[in-house]
Structure 1
Amino acid sequence: MAGSPPSASPLAPQPPQPSSVASGAVTDASAAAAAAAKETRARDDAARLAKAERARVAKARHDAALARVAEADCVAAVAQAERDAADARLRAALARADLERAATQPLPGSDDDTSDASGDGDHVSVAGDATHLRDALLQHEAAALINLHAQAVAVQNIRLLVPLTLDVSSTFYGRWRESLLHVVGRYSLESHVLSDVTAPTSPDWVRMDCVVRTWITGTITDALADTVIEPGNTARTSWLAIESQFRGNRETRALHLDAEFRNFKQGDQDITTYCRKLKSMADALRDLDEPVQDRTLVLNLLRGLNAWDYYQFDDLLTSEERTIRKKVRGIMEKEIALIMAVYLEKTVSI
């Protein structure tokens, strides 16, 4: 009808009801709270796991430290036991020496005793003082030897003392030999590698020979050990086998090394590496009883230098190498220049 209000269309959007809006807001808030709670729990779990991992690592380190302490205590106890046994042997040896000395004294009332009594009393006193002094020195030396051997037994890593590992193809046998001799001499064990005298019935000698054998094996590669080490060898036998390996075919090795030394060129190496390798070859030839004279070393160094490095030599040398440079310059001025002058004169005349 004309006076009635227009009716709403059934397809027109209805305004949101207040109750549905509030319900949606509550749902979003609940979801956000749940997500926040979940994130908090995840952080707490991660923190607990990290704390547990730190505790586990700390416990592992603590246990490892305790194990090392126990191992060190065990080694110290063994060394102390060996030292006590050596002290006991020393006391027994001194007691036997006293008994033997007493047996050599003349009996009271004998002719020797009478003649001695009638002799010079001061001479007897001086002789007795010398004997006591000698005994005291021997006892001090024995105690020092026992202490050194105990320290040698306690060495755990020989490569800290001998930082060279000898291989079949190594060219530094001489330096390895000197380094090992310094170590065995430091602990008064050089007789185990330099002397053919053995004492297989002495527990102390056998023990220290095992120590030296272990040091030798620990400073060579497996390939070299397979070649020179045999079961039951003494330290002296292993030492001689290694010496034979590097010096037995000395002439052949010296021939090949000398050829390599004289034909060695710098190439793409820097000047420091080139000089170091050339010096190493010279040292190896010296170990083979074929020493290289300084003049020969300098001439070979100059011969193998690249042209640029030859003219820029001073800019690349250390203070030690500059000293070599001065020797080079002296040889060039005193000897090479004269030879070149004669050569040029002959060339011009031709």
Structure 2
Amino acid sequence: MTEHSHDTRPRRPLREVVSNIDRDILHLLLRRHNLLARMHNSKGFLDPAEEKALRESWEAAVSRVSRDARLSGRFFSLMQEVEFLPRPSAQRDEGEGDEGGQAAGAERRQAFNLAPALRPVRVVMPAPLACRTTRAWLMLAAASGQALRIEPCLMNDPIVDCVKALNQLGAGLTREECGVAARETSPAGAPDKVLHVGDSAWNFFLLLGHYLGRPSRAKFTGETGLKLADFSAVRRFLPSLGARLVHVVPKSDGLPARLECSGILPDVVTPPADAPAELAEGILLAAPFYERPLTLDLSAHPRQRMILARVLPILRAADADISVLEGRVRVTPGPLRLPARPRLPLEPELAVFLLALPLVLSGETRLDGDWPQWPEAQAVWELLQALGL
């Protein structure tokens, strides 16, 4: 008589199996990241030919299992840009192994544990200056070729990337210890170049507005955020301005993208409701350098108040020839007179964190600067007061 043996061992829950697979994927991504680092050239970048070969191989492999453009495009971009924690020389206790399969005593990745002391805060400092306003003045300096100096100013990635891009156009911008200086140069042109705008859509729209006013073409690249961004509304709107935006990656709505401009603009431009407010701001800042007067009709745009509040004070301080009537802004080209040291409002998105510290820790925060008269900034001011500050 034969007996059939039955396996009575309990099966692992499927969630545990999936969790183990997820950890295996992370280990493979980490291994891929380390191999890519070994492939970098002397400047710390991956050679474009190598990246193209990797992308083609990935898309070919994906096509055999999926038709999802997110897997073939976005997932590859994320794998290229993903960052991991550094590898400190912390040693584990002898006899322990980590969940990555490392032996006892091997280096392991770990995050920092930052726990500030809970005591009353006392902050007295100049307020951080508005990041976008800083870049708007740098754009005007580059387009006019005039000299100015902004200090103290933030020296974050968006401003650094903006300075580099404007210098590619022929500007004379220099980053210094406490600010940015623009020396007198010839007005910036619109060369046919590859311009890297970092991870800031505002940088992209500033340069886009600059190129729209003249026959030109260029290619724009950016970091992961802009690669995954949706610029389809911009693509649909630009033909009314005699321009065309073509995305380089198939089925993508983000960067990299090629721009072709005829330089022939209509007398009146009416951005649709889905057009980004930042694009309207970029056009207004570039309009003083166009060949013909331009009227930007924002009367039906949902973010009209914010656009006008952020841009009009800058243009007026630069002595631009503008007139405003019921949401319609008319800009007449002409020479600007930029102040040598423009006065900038503070950056509310950064200031609000400092001003909210006394709410949690008690104490006092005092920032020296002008609070901007933007609708969003005023709403933040009212919120802070409503919280009891």
TM-score range, shorter chain: under 0.3
Q: What TM-score do the two structures reach when normalised by structure 2?
A: 0.24
- Structure number with the bigger relative contact order (C-alpha 8 A, sep ≥ 6) is 2
Larger Rg: 1
Q: What TM-score do the two structures reach when normalised by structure 1?
A: 0.26
